[in-house]
Structure 1
């Protein structure tokens, strides 16, 4: 942080300020993985800067989070989607809920009070019909349909008998 402005700065080995940016935060990559880019932001907006200090995505999102080395989870005006590291929309930012993890290529998404599962082509693989839904773990997702809790596979088939509350 710059002592003069409170903004983020890059420094050299002598701790001399080299470049100052108008950011109040910088998010390092999860698990120490090198993705070649960092989420940066102000108090209200986030963008993406590469490891050479060049802005790749302007600070236009309410939130950005790294999913993997090519994908960012994005929030804008309380809606969620995915963008790539160039800022291209991968999954439109239209969902009320969107999990940022997937073990099988399906992401839990929420829209209009219902949950379903989409892929990275924004195709609805399992319809929006559940009151609750978790991410897939070991090939199964916990869901609630018509007040009954059960588990489904990645095709949407019920694999464990439903139980009531």
Structure 2
């Protein structure tokens, strides 16, 4: 029994370590890092810094950039003029007017020469040769020869690509998953489908088929694991499924995606929330409203922003600003609450609220970035 208890404690402690999250904050003009209790784990000491990625955070010392580890010590010495965040174990750094990739130990990755270098994301980086774009792997070798006129941001392992005026989609191995034959295409690959436009008609691309939507003049990306997405017809918005069928007829002035079975919709200038049957479950009363995060909270606005739960109860009063377009994390679809905390701005500065509506550490900062995993 003692052995079992010891193993359980070890497992819990290991999980805690793996789940560590730090946030970059600025206080008295210096940058440092806090944990999710609000306590400093790296005291404010840097003139400039960036959030952690792949266990490293960029920091400025004596006008040169390097990278620190979670103890706050430089593990890649400050010798660079500019640096980017790590992704897929690699980061772009600028030294002697030359961009190059380094790994988390500072070792340089050998790659083919290029006129321009791009950040890695989801295990690949764009590679340009002349006017064409291909894909570079984390081993420094080309995965895809420069073939396309454009390759956009990878999301869920897929990216939209273009040849001439037409668009399709590839995966991170460079394989075509949607043929390049659409006038428009969504930028997010979901199991429920991707919207597209072909021969002037909007529809949903699903399981290799293009399913036209009757008279749609705009369609939006599927969100999360929802089987419905929103679309507009003659200045009204409704919801369609993967087959391109109108499940909820377009009668709303505006709408956003379903999450947790609820979607924000506007009637006139007031926003409320409907369920997937089209029943209004939170009456229109807000000047603006966003989708629910996975923890069951949504940003809503009167004169300023606050948060409600799925019952419509205000958890955090509508007294705050929230960062631009809710773009808390690069590539993240979460808006508002991220991993149990919401970042907000008041006249006192930036801070974080938890799900109980309490200000983390009862403290405001000059700047505050999202919490990110450091393991």
TM over 0.5: yes
Shift of 1:140: 3.6
Shift of 1:150: 3.0
Look up the SS of the partner of 1:136 in the other structure.
coil
Q: TM-score, normalised by structure 1?
A: 0.72
Paired with 1:122 and 1:95, the residues of 2 have a C-alpha distance of 13
Shift of 1:78: 2.0
Q: TM-score, normalised by structure 2?
A: 0.35
Find the partner of 2:155 among 47, 64, 67.
67
Paired with 1:102 and 1:14, the residues of 2 have a C-alpha distance of 34
Shift of 1:159: 1.1
Find the partner of 2:179 among 92, 95, 100.
92
Query: Relative to structure 2, which stretch is displaced further, 49-58 or 77-86?
Result: 77-86
Paired with 1:25 and 1:117, the residues of 2 have a C-alpha distance of 34
Look up the SS of the partner of 1:40 in the other structure.
strand
Find the partner of 1:125 among 211, 222, 242.
211
1:15-34 → structure 2 map (5 Å cutoff): 18-29=110-121
Is 1:83 the counterpart of 2:170 in the alignment?
A: yes
Find the partner of 1:143 among 210, 220, 231.
231
Decide which structure has greater strand share.
Answer: 1
Query: What is aligned with 2:248?
Result: 159
Shift of 1:3: 5.2
Shift of 1:10: 4.4
Paired with 1:88 and 1:62, the residues of 2 have a C-alpha distance of 16
Shift of 1:24: 0.8
Residues 48, 117 of structure 1: alpha-carbon distance in 2 compared, 3 angstrom cutoff: same
Shift of 1:79: 1.1
Paired with 1:143 and 1:48, the residues of 2 have a C-alpha distance of 33
Q: How many residues are matched?
A: 155
Paired with 1:60 and 1:128, the residues of 2 have a C-alpha distance of 34
Higher RCO, 1 or 2 (CA under 8 Å, sep at least 6)? 2
Q: CA RMSD in A?
A: 3.2
Q: Is the 8 A contact 2:156 2:188 kept in 1?
A: no
Residues 88, 133 of structure 1: alpha-carbon distance in 2 compared, 3 angstrom cutoff: same
Q: Which runs of 5+ in 2 are unaligned?
A: 1-93, 254-375
Residue deviations 1:94-114, cap 9 Å, x none? 111100115552111012222
Look up the SS of the partner of 2:118 in the other structure.
strand
Look up the SS of the partner of 1:21 in the other structure.
coil
**Highest CA radius of gyration, 1 or 2?**
2
Query: Relative to structure 2, which stretch is displaced further, 123-132 or 95-104?
Result: 123-132
Shift of 1:123: 0.7
Decide which structure has greater helix share.
Answer: 2
